[in-house]
Amino acid sequence: MFTYHMPARIRFGVGESSQLPDEIKALGITRLLIVTDPGILKAGLVTPIAELLEKSGIHIEINDQVAQNPRDTDCLHGAELFNAINAEAVLAIGGGSAMDTAKTIALLAKSGGTPSDYADGHLPYRQIAPILCVPTTAGTGSEVTRSAVITESSTHRKMTLKHENMRPVLAVLDPQLTVSVQASVTAATGVDALVHAIEGYTCTVTSPLSKAYGAEAMRTIVPALPLAVEDGKNLRARTKMLEGSLLAGLSFGNADVASVHCLAEALGSVYDTPHGVANAIFLPHVLRFNADGHVPLHATLARLMRFASDTDSDERAMEKLITGIFSFTRLLGIPLLSELPRISQEDFGRLVDLAYENGSTPSNVRSITKQEYRMILEETYAYNG
């Protein structure tokens, strides 16, 4: 038994962002709030789209107050602006941070309250403005998912807002917009997408559809990512990566993530570590833990990602998965946990608590205790390549 919900119209291809005016008009929308961050604006990705929209008679206002880890206060200001200009929809142009901020603005503008009210269950998710997304990184998949991760400024707590109403209605993916992303960000966001595929495929709440999308995402991402990191202008590799991150979003977006994300989000809360870097650091260690007891499943992952072949035994394929992922992340230039700034073993208790309390812990394929999270964290910290 499963449910799969996917309301977004998806338009994909090099140059497809030029079709935005027609797509938006077809939705009957004439007034838009564009949500982006100062880096994307400076990179020149917003202006051509804004000009196209204005030329076609769509009234726009640009809000570039998006932080790397999106804050509740910016969402509240965005919602005020949305209502002040009588906007009818939000258009996110950017990575996961811009899209998550836009989703939350769309909710607050129509239903009031603060992000904490929804994350803590004090307010129901009711009306929401239409959400339109143009991703500029290949990683998050937020253009097709129902969630947004927002930081509560007063406590630094990372909150997940999650509801079917928060799924975008339009996603336009143009690989051309991702060519200027620097190599280290390409690597980190790309591994985030791979983890979405792996966790969407293996989690306890997966479905045949999430598995199909996850499998295709793994097959697509592993060969493309090193090429996109090596040469950002390789449009074929960029196209494959954007395709892979979309497929991964379609996988976990109707299932869940699991313990790699639980540890990564804990690290992000305490040290502000970029999400993709944190995921990449924990991925091989969590896989090693999960594979114990789920050998055939992890042998399948190894074969999907071409770390092992059909002639390898399950046991051998599972071993090749672990060594393959270790060398894959090192090849991409992902740092070790011990190489990150400010990491202190004194914080490990807090990190373990945060990971264990994460709502996605029960979704991990192998049930996991606090002690086991501690063991994985210690092992990751001691690992020196």
Please report, as ranges, the residues that interact with Fe ion according to CB under 5 A: 192
Q: What is the C-alpha to C-alpha distance for residues 285 and 291, in angstroms, rounded to an integer?
A: 10
Burial string for 213-236 (b: 16+ CB within 10 Å, else e) reads: bbbbbbbbbbebbeebbeebebee
Q: How far apart are the first and last CA of the chain?
A: 42
Distance in Å, CB of 261 to Fe ion, minimum:
6
Q: What is the C-alpha to C-alpha distance for residues 258 and 255, in angstroms, rounded to an integer?
A: 10
Nearer to Fe ion by C-beta: 192 or 216? Answer: 192
Distance in Å, CB of 47 to Fe ion, minimum:
29
Distance in Å, CB of 153 to Fe ion, minimum:
22
Helix or strand run (H / E) with residue 372: helix 370-382
Distance in Å, CB of 380 to Fe ion, minimum:
17
Nearer to Fe ion by C-beta: 46 or 263? Answer: 263
Nearer to Fe ion by C-beta: 87 or 264? Answer: 264
Nearer to Fe ion by C-beta: 192 or 256? Answer: 192
Nearer to Fe ion by C-beta: 192 or 319? Answer: 192
Taking CB positions, which residue lies at the least distance from Fe ion?
A: 192
Distance in Å, CB of 99 to Fe ion, minimum:
12
Tokens, residue 203: 């989690």
Other CB atoms within a 10 A radius of the CB of residue 59 amount to 14
Number of H helices, E strands in the chain: 15, 8
Helix or strand run (H / E) with residue 170: strand 170-173
